[in-house]
């Protein structure tokens, strides 16, 4: 609520997605991780009150394709926010840098061009162990759940600013 603060002085936020529609776009590449991220996003959206019937899930081949899908959903006028889920694991070539960088930059560009919040839930990690640590089940750290929180909070902010509050 406005005026409330956490112990560290940072304003507290109450997430309320009860009247929101959110698209979740997940990459099939490294699906053993992206499925875990998707579970986290589902948990986070449910905790924020987003009705299950208002969550749209879509799949793309890999992290490189996330920005285009996110921008398309953002431009559709059907969603309040988009969450992108992917996993890029460093290998022995420079492919990692190209995919991770273009994914991140494309998602940022898409949200800036559309004015629709697009949460970056794409892991860029050195190895599978790091990916597993960032996509844990309930009780652990899950970047998909973080993405859900970011999407709802930013959608609330955009609404508040546009309403002149």
The angle at the Cα of 84, spanning 115 to 15, to the nearest 5 degrees, equals: 70
Tally Cβ neighbours within 10 Å of residue 11: 10
Token pair recorded at residue 41: 């996003």
What positions carry a catalytic annotation? 95
- Collapsing DSSP to helix, strand or coil, 134 comes out as coil
Token pair recorded at residue 110: 């898409």
Q: What are phi and psi of 135, to 5 degrees?
A: -135, 35
Distance (Å, whole) CA 11 – CA 156: 14
Token pair recorded at residue 111: 């949200």
């Amino acid at each position: 609520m406005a005026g409330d603060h956490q112990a560290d002085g940072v304003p507290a936020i109450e997430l309320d997605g009860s009247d929101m529609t959110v698209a979740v776009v997940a990459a099939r590449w490294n699906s053993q991780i992206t499925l875990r991220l998707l579970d986290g996003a589902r948990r986070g959206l449910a905790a924020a009150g987003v009705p299950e019937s208002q969550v749209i899930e879509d799949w793309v081949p890999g992290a490189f394709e996330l920005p285009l899908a996110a921008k398309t959903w953002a431009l559709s006028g059907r969603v309040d926010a988009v969450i992108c889920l992917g996993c890029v694991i460093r290998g022995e070539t420079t492919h990692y840098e190209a995919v991770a960088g273009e994914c991140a930059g494309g998602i940022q560009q898409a949200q800036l061009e559309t004015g629709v919040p697009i949460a970056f839930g794409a892991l860029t990690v050195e190895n599978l162990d790091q990916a597993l640590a960032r996509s844990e089940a309930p009780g652990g750290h899950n970047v998909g759940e973080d993405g859900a929180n970011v999407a709802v909070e930013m959608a609330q902010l955009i609404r508040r600013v546009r309403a002149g509050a």
